[in-house]
């Protein structure tokens, strides 16, 4: 047995005659980890690092030969890619296999922080979909919002609610992703502290909590909708047993996802109802421990009353967005606490529905503040995918970009004569944020709370 892995867990896994206990222990003792990133397809087309090959079950995802210091890379801060464990990227494959991304859908990422799965959904789903990304813990919702801001899409709402709040939106969503809080055994190689915190009692506690989360929120999924339930645990009590419990309620049926045997993913079936599950083990593939199952809601579900709401008269000055944005007519602008936002026009009523039943941390894209009739642009606008690509900009070197991200004084020799006013700081063609060119200096408008301290 291992000197540091919980023996009770290893014994349980070893009951399966096909499970290679020796290799499982070895890969944890060696501690080597695969590093992967997933590109933002609206910002970056090629892997910016030395690649060890593509992640086979996810488009636009690559293994890296070495783990870079992402904090030093301006492209990371620009939202060009997201560092994510390759195992959890399997959600992209599921969406394509079930053709969920072929048309606009309502999607909910229930336990969303720090944002890996939300940014994946933002890229994998149809671009006209509506994504609600929820995080119950207030201290984690800010990083979720920051990562979605970097990703740059306007079709996203960030909420900060207990899962039970979604019971007030019956039959609202076509797809729910529940990456449930768990005992964390799949993270043993990544996080040694998880080993000290693991116990069979905690597995039981987590299983009960997972059932509560699902029981109190699952009404939000419509009949025929898909539930993608996942954990980073190896314990059946948190994985296959939860799938069985959901099927026993009579509300769900299990969906099989056809996979390539060469990928190293283990296809399991639950003891009670033969529910299909997919297990990722670090000794068999390039990724950490992960489990996911796909269930389809078959029970009749009452639906939220989407009554038509009379549109309010806009107090946003006409034409103020024309020079800043593309496709202005596809969005409706609104003002909240002196900030100007945009949100997809087709979901204007939905935003009001969500406001009535949930606490919203952010909706759409914060464009900036209105100072009389002048717009002071926001950082979110600079990183957004709605920004006018022809807006005035300056290309920075790596050193200049890093200085900008530290919010230091910007001194450039490349400023063309006649350039003045709001200007995008860019690195390799990607926006980092705003500068303002004045006659005698350049003001750095990178947000103070986001500045890089250690470079």
- Among the listed residues 58, 109, 114, the one whose alpha carbon sits nearest the alpha carbon of residue 88: 58
For residue 138, say whether it is annotated as part of any ligand binding site. no
Which one is catalytic: 47, 58, 182, 232? 232
User: How far apart (Å, rounded) are the C-alpha atoms in residues 144 and 386?
Assistant: 20
Annotation-wise, does 135 bind a ligand? yes
| Alpha-carbon distances of 144 from 8, 154, 217, 373, rounded to whole Å | 35, 15, 20, 32
Tracing tokens 């979720």 back to the chain, one arrives at: 144
Q: What is the DSSP string of 118-184?
A: HHHHHHHS-TT-EEEEE-S-HHHHHHHHHHHHHHT-SSEEEE---GGGGGGSTT-EEEEEEE-----
The reply, when asked if residue 204 is annotated as ligand binding, is no
Q: Is 116 annotated as a binding residue?
A: yes
Q: Which two tokens stand for residue 450?
A: 């986001």
**Dihedral sign of CA atoms 25, 27, 29, 34 in order:** negative
Consult the annotation and say whether 47 binds a ligand: no
206 belongs to the catalytic site: no
333 annotated as a binding-site residue: no
The response to whether 115 counts as a known ligand-binding position is yes
- In the three-class reduction of DSSP (H, G, I as helix; E, B as strand; rest coil), residue 361 is classed as strand
Residue 112 marked ligand-binding: yes
Q: What H or E segment, with its residue span, contains residue 276? A: strand 276-280
For 12, the enclosing helix (H) or strand (E) is: helix 7-14
Q: Which residues are annotated as a binding site?
A: 111-117, 135, 162, 179
Q: Which residues are annotated as a binding site for S-adenosyl-L-methionine?
A: 111-117, 135, 162, 179
Q: Which residues are catalytic?
A: 232
């Amino acid at each position: 047995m291992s000197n540091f892995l919980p023996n009770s867990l290893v014994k349980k896994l070893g009951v399966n005659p096909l499970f290679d206990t020796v290799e499982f222990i070895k890969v944890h003792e060696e501690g080597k980890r695969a590093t992967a990133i997933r590109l933002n397809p609206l910002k970056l087309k090629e892997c910016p690092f030395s690649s060890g090959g593509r992640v086979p079950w996810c488009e636009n995802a690559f293994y890296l030969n070495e783990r870079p210091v992402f904090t030093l890379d301006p492209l990371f801060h620009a939202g060009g890619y997201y560092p994510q464990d390759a195992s959890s990227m399997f959600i992209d494959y599921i969406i394509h296999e079930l053709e969920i991304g072929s048309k606009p859908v309502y999607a909910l990422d229930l336990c969303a922080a720090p944002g890996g799965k939300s940014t994946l959904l933002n890229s994998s789903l149809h671009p006209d979909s509506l994504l609600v990304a929820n995080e119950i813990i207030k201290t984690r919702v800010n990083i979720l919002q920051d990562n979605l801001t970097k990703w740059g899409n306007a079709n996203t709402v960030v909420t900060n609610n207990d899962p039970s709040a979604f019971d007030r939106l019956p039959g609202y969503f076509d797809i729910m992703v529940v990456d449930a809080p768990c005992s964390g055994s799949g993270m043993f190689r990544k996080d040694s502290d998880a080993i000290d915190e693991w116990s069979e009692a905690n597995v039981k506690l987590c299983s009960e909590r997972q059932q509560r989360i699902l029981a109190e929120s699952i009404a939000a999924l419509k009949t025929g909708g898909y539930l993608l339930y996942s954990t980073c645990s190896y314990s059946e009590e948190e994985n296959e047993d939860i799938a069985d419990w959901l099927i026993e309620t009579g509300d769900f049926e299990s969906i099989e996802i056809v996979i390539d045997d060469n990928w190293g993913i283990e296809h399991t079936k639950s003891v009670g109802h033969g529910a299909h599950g997919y297990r990722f083990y670090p000794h068999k593939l390039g990724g950490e421990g992960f489990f996911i199952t796909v269930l389809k809601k078959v029970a009749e579900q009452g639906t939220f009353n989407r009554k038509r709401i009379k549109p309010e008269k806009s107090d946003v000055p006409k034409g103020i967005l024309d020079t800043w944005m593309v496709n202005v007519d596809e969005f409706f602008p609104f003002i909240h606490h002196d900030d100007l936002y945009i949100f997809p026009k087709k979901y204007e009523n939905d935003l009001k529905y969500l406001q009535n039943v949930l606490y919203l941390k952010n909706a759409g894209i914060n464009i900036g503040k209105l100072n009389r009739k002048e717009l002071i642009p926001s950082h979110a606008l600079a990183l957004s995918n709605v920004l006018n690509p022809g807006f005035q900009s300056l290309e920075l070197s790596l050193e200049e970009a890093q200085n900008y991200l530290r919010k230091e004084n910007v001194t450039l020799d490349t400023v063309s004569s006649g350039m003045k006013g709001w200007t995008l700081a860019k690195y390799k063609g990607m926006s980092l944020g705003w500068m303002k060119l004045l006659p005698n200096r350049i003001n750095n408008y990178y947000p103070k709370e986001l500045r890089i301290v250690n470079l």
